[in-house]
Amino acid sequence: MRAEIVAIGTELLLGQVVDTNSAFIAEQLAGSGIDCVFQTRVGDNLDRIVEALEIALSRSDAVVTCGGLGPTQDDITREAVARVMGVTLRRDPGLLEVVEKFFAARGRNMAASNAKQADLPEGASAIPQRRGTAPGLVCPVGEKVVYCLPGVPDELREMVGRAVLPDLRARSGEQSVIVSRTLRTWGLSESTLAEVVAPRLEHLDRAGGGAPTIAFLASGIEGIKLRVTVKAPDAASAEVALAREESELRHLLGTRVFAVDDETMEHAVGRLLLGRGLTLAVAESFTGGLIASRIVAVAGASRWFRGGVVAYAAEVKHEVLGVPPGPVVTAEAAAAMAAGVRRLLGADVGLATTGVAGPDPQEGRAPGTAFAGVALLAGPPDAVALRLSGDRARIRQIGTISALDELRRRLLAAG
């Protein structure tokens, strides 16, 4: 079954409200094995809503709308659906009673305009409202169907689970699920990543329908994501297929994959440290506490994170962390900072950053020049140069994740 979402409201087009409803509906459709093939947003204009619905019905089996079921003049979803169905609206006495009781129970007078929320297109049925005043609608259009849901998120979500999904599953006659898993990578551009994964994509293309699909998702400063999606008869089969595809991709990408789904780089580092029974201390210069801030956002970080020192001034690097006299935007200074903070805070591992965030050069170094130092239990501390570009904020953010990734790779290599 092919489904489509039409989000209604001029505020969506103006950017005044973020359309979280469509994302939720699409996620729920996928979980029920129903393909969501298009999403549309349309303003509060009767002709354009009718046009959007007619286009959606021409290419999909089911349409789910959200918004436009309220009591005001611009709430015209009912009128638009009635026109598409070729019927008139009728006022349902039972629905009107529900709306009246809603206001009476709260000691409030019901405005006359609220009565329109009891209007139904002829031939449609209502989805009873349990959290507000606007019922949803189930509107048959020939062999197809339009579900109309209120735009209030918690009202919409309750109706999706209680009424829309069960009805869609019954209509489709299919028993399947669509699930996704996202592999998060660091260190490769999207084009280079695509080249590495190309053999797997070619294999899946040859396999034809029913094979997992792979999509590339750029995510700003958080790296490139690979989303694997499978459609399977049930959740257990889907999990097997996802695990198999994840294994194939990890074989191609190796340590470039640092996390799965919503995990961050700091989650990955924390998991490695915790698994090895190690603690971490950080010394930050140009990142200015961003590393520590990201770390402490991880639940349970206190089990492996000792603390940090923001050594912004050169004197602090020398006097507090024991960095030898001389320039401080160097690999040698980064290594000394890592060793110094490890010793100072009694940690097993030290991580440090030093560099030039800009916009002005420092020590003759251009903005974007940076180093990450790592001090592990075994071997002397050392550091690597980081390749950073962008404005001051981006350099600091990318530098933070790059330093954490360097530590992650060192921990993996140390075993």
Q: What is the pLDDT of residues 79-130, one digit of tens each?
A: 999 999 999 999 999 999 999 998 999 899 999 999 999 999 999 999 999 9
* Backbone region of residue 309 per phi and psi (left: phi > 0; alpha: psi in -120 to 50; beta: other values): beta
In CATH, what number is assigned to the domain containing residue 101? 3.40.980.10
- pLDDT of 209 above 80: no
* Cβ atoms within 10 Å of 390's Cβ, excluding its own: 15
Which pLDDT value is given to residue 219?
A: 75
- Phi first, then psi, for residue 204 (nearest 5°) are -65, -35
Which pLDDT value is given to residue 221?
A: 87
- The boundaries of the domain holding residue 347 are 265-414
Which pLDDT value is given to residue 173?
A: 83
Same domain, yes or no: 139 and 228: no
Which pLDDT value is given to residue 31?
A: 86
Which residues, other chains included, contact 108 with Cβ-Cβ below 8 Å and sequence gap of 6+?
Answer: none
- 134: helix, coil or strand? coil
Same domain, yes or no: 251 and 126: no
The span from the CA of 98 to the CA of 95, in Å, is 5
Which pLDDT value is given to residue 9?
A: 97
Same domain, yes or no: 141 and 207: no
Q: Distance of alpha carbon 8 from its chain centroid, rounded?
A: 23
Same domain, yes or no: 316 and 204: no
Q: What is the pLDDT of residues 22-61, one digit of tens each?
A: 999 999 998 888 999 999 999 999 999 999 999 999 999 9
In CATH, what number is assigned to the domain containing residue 341? 3.90.950.20
Domain boundary among 260, 279, 309: 260
Same domain, yes or no: 17 and 115: yes
The span from the CA of 346 to the CA of 153, in Å, is 49
Domain boundary among 260, 289, 314: 260
- Domains identified in the chain, total number: 3
What's the alpha-carbon Rg for the chain, to the nearest Å? 28
Same domain, yes or no: 27 and 163: yes
The number of residues in the chain equals: 415
- pLDDT of 224 above 90: yes
Find, among 395, 402, 369, 387, the residue nearest to 266 by Cα. Answer: 402
Same domain, yes or no: 300 and 236: no
The span from the CA of 240 to the CA of 177, in Å, is 13
The pTM of the full predicted model, rounded to 2 decimals, is 0.78
More confident residue, 182 or 210: 182
Same domain, yes or no: 87 and 192: no
Same domain, yes or no: 215 and 250: yes
Residue in this structure with the two tokens 């009476």, named with its chain if needed = 104
The span from the CA of 303 to the CA of 245, in Å, is 33
Amino acid at 167: D
More confident residue, 131 or 277: 277
Which pLDDT value is given to residue 403?
A: 98
Which pLDDT value is given to residue 311?
A: 98
In CATH, what number is assigned to the domain containing residue 182? 3.30.70.2860
Which pLDDT value is given to residue 81?
A: 98
